Structure 1
Amino acid sequence: MSDLAITGLLIAALFLILGTGVWIGLALSGVAWIGMQLFSSRPAGDAMAVTIWGSSSSWTLTALPLFIWMGEILFRTRLSNDMFRGLAPWVQALPGRLLHTNVVGCAIFAAVSGSSAATCATIGKMTLPELSRRGYPDGISIGSLAGAGTLGLLIPPSIIMIVYGVSADVSIAQLFMAGVLPGVLLAALFSGYLVVWALLNPGAIPPADRPMSLAQKLSESRHLIPVVLLIAAVLGSIYSGLATATEAAAVGVLGSLILSAAQGSLDWKTFRESLMGGTRLYCMIAMILAGASFLTLAMGYIGLPRHLAEWIGSLNLPPLGLLAALMLFFIVLGCFLDGISMVVLTMGVILPTVQKAGIDLLWFGIFVVLVVEMAQITPPVGFNLFVLQGMTKREIGWIARVTLPFFFLMVLAVALIWFFPQIVTLLPAQMRR
């Protein structure tokens, strides 16, 4: 059977299983089992047990539940409300007002976690209930969070950049520097869209609070101090070298507990509810991760990503055509694999073709991260869509629909770095001097 036929069969199986209402993690595992049974010689049961156990017991994954718990603590105490009180006076003048807290919050937290799922879940726990309470439409609130949550992959530190740097023999420090301006660009595009949307839908945005003088704004900003201290503690522990990402997540949990206790908004009931809420959300994400890991293994045994990459390389396309084909390839691949697996399974085949086309490997690394970000919000298996579905209990199709404008903004970002490659190369060039 051809690779195209296998791909079509597995996509059809995935849609069919998801359509029956089976949990997402189990659906991914089911498709992986079908693929291994039909197109691989390795016993599927043994592979499933080993892979699911391995993905579930990973130490590096410990940062994710800790960051989610931190978000739950902030959400259930006064800290998240204080963050809005401090930000509100400064964004009230912008069309879209408090919707911009999704973008700003995700951009800041992306520099802490390096994970799209952790960024989306943590910021969502703080912003979505508050935006809903203040009367902002659910569609634009959830859509902007799904899009901005992907910044966790682009703004350093980023695990995918490390994996790509090792695969392509590119300086990881330069990759981190190269991701800064595209990350700012993408955040600006998201905020720009919110401004345009608000201007086109003026009746959907709640009225602005009373005007404030500069002194009053500065006075209200004192409510930001606890959250700023918390972010500074997490970021500072990472960038000073005192803590790993996992240890920094533990610092974040401890800091949020101390700050909320000092404010008098932490009691036993809040502590228990935050712990149980974080556990429920992480268990949902962990099941998806386990299913995705098994599907990744199945794809590796079938050889589908490698064969498709070889086929694209054999087309001898010009640089722009090659990048367009690779963008489509990674978006389709995102239906089956997580971002790191996409890089690991395909770079060995794709990089020689990219080099032959005269494309700078440092620039290509940022391109790869951007298209992997797109895959995070591409149905049916966009990871951020699943995280938000677990948080909001909305239909996956509805979430995908309200997120679609932000997908096209990422396509625009790719076009901008193609026509203006200095957006990627400027900071690394300064670093080399």
Structure 2
Amino acid sequence: MDVLMTMGMMLALIIVFLGLGVWVFVGLFLVGLAGLALIADFPLDRVGAIARSVIWRSASAWELSAIPLFIWMGEIIFRTDISDRLFRGLSPLVQWMPGRLLHTNILGCTLFAAVSGSTSATTATVGKITTSALAERSYNNSLSVGSLAGAGSLGLLIPPSIVMIIYGVLAEVSIAKLFAAGIIPGLLVSFLYSWYIIIRCGFNPALAPRSDEKVTLAQCLSGLKDLAPIVSLIVLVLGGIYTGIATPSEAAAVGVVATLGLTLVMRSFSWNIVFEAAMGAVKTSCMVCSILVSAAFLSTAIGYLHIPVELVAFIKSLALSPYGLLAILALFYILLGFFLDGISIIVMSLPITLPLILQAGFDPIWFGVFLVLMVELAQMTPPVGFNLFILQGLTGQSIGRVVQAAFPFFLLMCVAVVLVSIFPQLVLFLPALM
């Protein structure tokens, strides 16, 4: 079949470029050029005109302005004591639960994800505090590292999510509704992780040694006070989006100003922190946006080659059930996760998979959350699972031990994927209220 041969040639080119160590955005752009010039046989002047039009249209999308702002928020928090307050605030509140301080990984990542939007920032920020604190208290190392690997990926699912912004721009769906759709699945994943820790520590209390120190009401109230900065940022940013007062980009700008204001109030402000955070945000944003632009050009090239239309027709001829198609796509994304990072997975696959999903009758908002969950699974799979390498650097353990510790939480994430597939209202309930 011609479409399969064309797809095979495009995939082969991508594999060759990535295998040569070419930057992802350069590789995607070169594949798009090759597709138009060599496979579609377009003259070079037409290819140039298409490239100019797509690059300008993609780079000037207003929604992309939210990405550097949300990253800047996370970078500022990472460099101040707001993140330290997060651990201090949660510690007295989880002492009554089986597993005790292990839950600070889950709850800390859940809260930080709601102001960061980045899985690497979430894992690194919470991990730099909890890994050493839990080790000093002789908590089980495998549960500590594994729970952090799993919960750190929530930075992609719980809004504001950078990956959701990217999906919303490419799929042309409401980013605000995508943010709302990620809340219940994100809390579901946190719930599954916490219950796993409760069950494990219930059967083996030695995994989370009990402290002789009694937690007082005053300590709990002090903990709530320490959590106030993070909670106030969450309410300000997400509240502005869901009430319709602000767009995601406007809410991100307000969030940056509010974060800087908090550093002033807490006397942790310095121009050095602002500059370092800004430079970190610039580097990450340039990487993300350059990949988006080149992916948009590749998507256009794939459209000119009629791959999506012909592939939809081919899949339709197989008479697969909607859930049969979903199972195949899930395996496809897990395999991609072995070799690619989350952003690359989305921008490279969406031009092909989204038409299939729409043809099968799935809601594009629901598919966005499904896709983010699959990308989260990729964060926990070697050899390019970013969360695994962050934890390897934080703990000094071998990558094999980190992978082994993360595996139960990988399976729990798979359970979450099954649940949102069987019960799509877990995703669609909140967006329907907007």
Q: TM (normalized to structure 1)?
A: 0.73
Which string of whole-angstrom CA distances, capped at 9 and with x for unpartnered residues, describes residues 335-363 of structure 1? Answer: 69664886676555554444xxxxxx55x
Give the residue type in structure 1 aligned to 2:28.
L
Q: What's the CA shift for 1:379?
A: 8.2
Which string of whole-angstrom CA distances, capped at 9 and with x for unpartnered residues, describes residues 128-181 of structure 1? Answer: 3323443666953663255322314799x96589789988xxx99998876654
1:38-117 equivalent positions in 2, closer than 5 A: 38-42=38-42, 43=44, 44-94=47-97, 100-101=103-104, 103-105=106-108, 107-108=110-111
Query: Among the aligned pairs, what percent are the same residue?
Result: 39
1:264-279 equivalent positions in 2, closer than 5 A: 264-279=267-282
1:156-305 equivalent positions in 2, closer than 5 A: 180-193=183-196, 210-305=213-308
Q: What's the CA shift for 1:98?
A: 5.3
Give the residue type in structure 1 aligned to 2:296.
S
Instruction: Tell me which residue corresponds to 1:151.
Output: 157
Give the residue type in structure 2 aligned to 1:74.
I
Paired with 2:204 and 2:25, the residues of 1 have a C-alpha distance of: 37
Instruction: Tell me which residue corresponds to 2:327.
Output: 324
Give the residue type in structure 1 aligned to 2:31.
V
Give the residue type in structure 1 aligned to 2:300.
L
Instruction: Tell me which residue corresponds to 1:357.
Output: none
Paired with 1:287 and 1:326, the residues of 2 have a C-alpha distance of: 26
Which string of whole-angstrom CA distances, capped at 9 and with x for unpartnered residues, describes residues 62-93 of structure 1? Answer: 11111111111111112111122111222355
**Contact 2:299 2:351 (8 Å CA) reproduced:** no
2:369 paired with 1:369? yes
Q: TM (normalized to structure 2)?
A: 0.73
Paired with 1:32 and 1:4, the residues of 2 have a C-alpha distance of: 17
**Contact 2:18 2:24 (8 Å CA) reproduced:** yes
Give the residue type in structure 2 aligned to 1:373.
L
Paired with 2:334 and 2:424, the residues of 1 have a C-alpha distance of: 22
Instruction: Tell me which residue corresponds to 1:28.
Output: 28
**Contact 1:161 1:369 (8 Å CA) reproduced:** no
Give the residue type in structure 1 aligned to 2:233.
L
1:375/1:119 Cα in 2 relative to 1: closer, same or farther (>3 Å)? Answer: closer
1:319/1:97 Cα in 2 relative to 1: closer, same or farther (>3 Å)? Answer: same
Instruction: Tell me which residue corresponds to 1:358.
Output: none
1:54/1:401 Cα in 2 relative to 1: closer, same or farther (>3 Å)? Answer: farther
Which string of whole-angstrom CA distances, capped at 9 and with x for unpartnered residues, describes residues 157-214 of structure 1? Answer: 96589789988xxx99998876654343233224445556778999997986944223
Which string of whole-angstrom CA distances, capped at 9 and with x for unpartnered residues, describes residues 297-323 of structure 1? Answer: 333223333333322221112454243
Deviates more, 1:77-86 or 1:130-139: 130-139
Structure 2 counterpart SS, 1:134:
helix
Paired with 1:200 and 1:38, the residues of 2 have a C-alpha distance of: 62
**Contact 2:178 2:369 (8 Å CA) reproduced:** no
Give the residue type in structure 2 aligned to 1:120.
T
Q: What's the CA shift for 1:99?
A: 5.5
**Contact 1:281 1:391 (8 Å CA) reproduced:** no
**Contact 1:163 1:340 (8 Å CA) reproduced:** no
Give the residue type in structure 1 aligned to 2:187.
V
Unaligned runs of 5+ in 1: 355-360
Paired with 1:400 and 1:37, the residues of 2 have a C-alpha distance of: 42
Deviates more, 1:203-212 or 1:89-98: 203-212
Paired with 2:18 and 2:203, the residues of 1 have a C-alpha distance of: 36
**Contact 2:157 2:183 (8 Å CA) reproduced:** no
**Contact 2:95 2:101 (8 Å CA) reproduced:** yes
**Contact 2:229 2:262 (8 Å CA) reproduced:** yes
**Contact 1:83 1:227 (8 Å CA) reproduced:** yes
Which string of whole-angstrom CA distances, capped at 9 and with x for unpartnered residues, describes residues 217-253 of structure 1? Answer: 2223211122222222222322333322111111111
Paired with 1:102 and 1:180, the residues of 2 have a C-alpha distance of: 18
1:194/1:52 Cα in 2 relative to 1: closer, same or farther (>3 Å)? Answer: farther
Paired with 1:3 and 1:332, the residues of 2 have a C-alpha distance of: 21
Give the residue type in structure 2 aligned to 1:294.
F
Give the residue type in structure 2 aligned to 1:129.
K
Paired with 1:164 and 1:29, the residues of 2 have a C-alpha distance of: 16
Give the residue type in structure 2 aligned to 1:21.
G
**Contact 2:10 2:35 (8 Å CA) reproduced:** yes
Instruction: Tell me which residue corresponds to 2:122.
Output: 123
Deviates more, 1:73-82 or 1:88-97: 88-97
Paired with 1:222 and 1:300, the residues of 2 have a C-alpha distance of: 53
Give the residue type in structure 2 aligned to 1:150.
L
Unaligned runs of 5+ in 2: 136-140
Structure 1 counterpart SS, 2:378:
coil
Give the residue type in structure 2 aligned to 1:30.
L
1:16/1:152 Cα in 2 relative to 1: closer, same or farther (>3 Å)? Answer: farther
Give the residue type in structure 2 aligned to 1:126.
T
